[in-house]
C-alpha cells in the first residue's frame, strides 16, 4: 500500500507492508456458541435445522403425523361399522328370534299341561301335577336366554358350534333348521312330544278354520234391511 507523508516533513513516500484484512467464514452447521461448548458432527439439532421446511417447527411433525394417523383410524372404523353392523344385526336378530320362538313354544306347551293338571282331587292327580310342575321348572331353567345363547353353543361372531346337518341338494340351511338343531331345543322338544303323546294332545286341531270352511254364526241372523238408494241431487 502506497502512503503519502504529511506535509512539511522530510519523509519520503513509502510503501507499507501491512497485510490485507483477514475474514473468517464459519461453516453453516456451526452455531454461535460452538467455540464455547463445541458441536458434535451429525447433531440432531443441526439436522433438523437443515431439513425442516421454512416456517415449520421440527417438533410439530411427529404430532401432526400422530393426529392424522388417529383421525384416519377412527374414520375407517366408523365407515366399517356403518357398512357391517346393520347387516350383522339383521341376521343375528332373525336367528335369535327363531331360536327364542321355538323355546317359547316348548315352555308354553309344558306350562299349559301343568296348568291343566292342577286342582285334581285324588292323590294320583296331585302326583301328576307335581311331576308336570317339576318338568316345567326344569325346562324354564335350561331354556332361558343365558343358557340357549351361551358360549357353549355360539361363537363370538354369531355362528353356531353345534351340527345343523348337511344341506340338501339345492336347499340352503334356514334359521328354523338352526333353531331346531340346537341341543337344548332338541332335548326339550322330545320331552314336549312325549307329553303330547301321553295326554293325547293334537296340536293341528288347534287353530282357525280355513277361509272356505268358515260358517256364519247361528246366533247372528242375517240382516233384512233393504239398502236405501241415494236421491239425485236437486240443482
Sign of CA dihedral 204, 208, 210, 212: positive
Residue 147's CB is within 10 A of a number of other CB atoms, namely: 14
Q: Residue 114: pLDDT above 90?
A: yes
pLDDT band at 28 (very low <50, low <70, confident <90, very high): low
Tell me the torsion sign for CA atoms 17, 18, 20, 23. positive
Identify which of 178, 21, 7 has the alpha carbon closest to the alpha carbon of residue 91: 178
Show the cell assigned to 61.
411433525
Residue 75's pLDDT is 79
Per-residue pLDDT of 49-83, as tens digits, reads 445 455 555 667 888 888 878 887 787 777 776 66
User: Cα dist. 51→29, 54, 58, 70, 149 in Å?
Assistant: 12, 9, 9, 25, 60
Domains of the chain, residue spans: 95-164+174-200
Helix, strand or coil for residue 160? Answer: strand
Q: What is the pLDDT of residue 16?
A: 55
Residues 72-111 have pLDDT tens digits of 778 777 777 666 666 766 778 889 999 999 999 999 999 9
Amino acid at each position: 500500500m502506497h502512503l503519502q507523508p504529511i506535509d512539511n516533513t522530510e519523509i519520503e513516500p513509502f510503501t507499507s507492508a501491512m497485510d490485507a484484512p483477514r475474514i473468517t467464514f464459519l461453516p453453516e452447521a456451526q452455531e454461535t456458541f460452538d467455540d464455547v461448548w463445541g458441536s458434535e458432527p451429525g447433531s440432531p439439532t443441526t439436522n433438523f435445522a437443515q431439513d425442516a421446511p421454512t416456517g415449520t417447527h421440527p417438533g410439530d411433525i411427529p404430532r401432526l403425523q400422530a393426529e392424522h394417523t388417529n383421525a384416519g383410524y377412527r374414520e375407517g372404523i366408523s365407515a366399517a361399522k356403518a357398512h357391517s353392523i346393520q347387516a350383522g344385526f339383521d341376521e343375528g336378530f332373525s336367528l335369535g328370534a327363531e331360536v327364542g320362538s321355538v323355546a317359547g313354544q316348548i315352555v308354553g306347551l309344558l306350562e299349559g299341561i301343568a296348568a291343566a293338571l292342577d286342582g285334581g282331587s285324588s292323590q294320583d292327580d296331585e302326583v301328576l301335577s307335581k311331576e308336570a310342575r317339576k318338568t316345567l321348572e326344569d325346562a324354564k331353567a335350561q331354556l332361558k336366554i343365558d343358557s340357549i345363547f351361551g358360549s357353549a353353543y355360539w361363537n363370538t361372531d354369531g355362528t353356531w358350534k353345534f351340527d345343523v346337518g348337511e344341506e340338501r341338494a339345492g336347499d340352503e340351511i334356514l334359521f328354523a333348521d338352526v333353531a331346531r338343531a340346537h341341543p337344548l331345543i332338541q332335548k326339550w322338544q322330545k320331552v314336549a312330544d312325549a307329553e303330547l303323546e301321553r295326554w293325547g294332545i293334537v296340536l293341528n286341531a288347534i287353530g282357525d278354520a280355513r277361509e272356505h270352511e268358515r260358517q256364519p254364526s247361528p246366533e247372528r241372523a242375517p240382516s233384512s234391511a233393504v239398502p236405501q238408494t241415494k236421491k239425485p241431487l236437486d240443482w
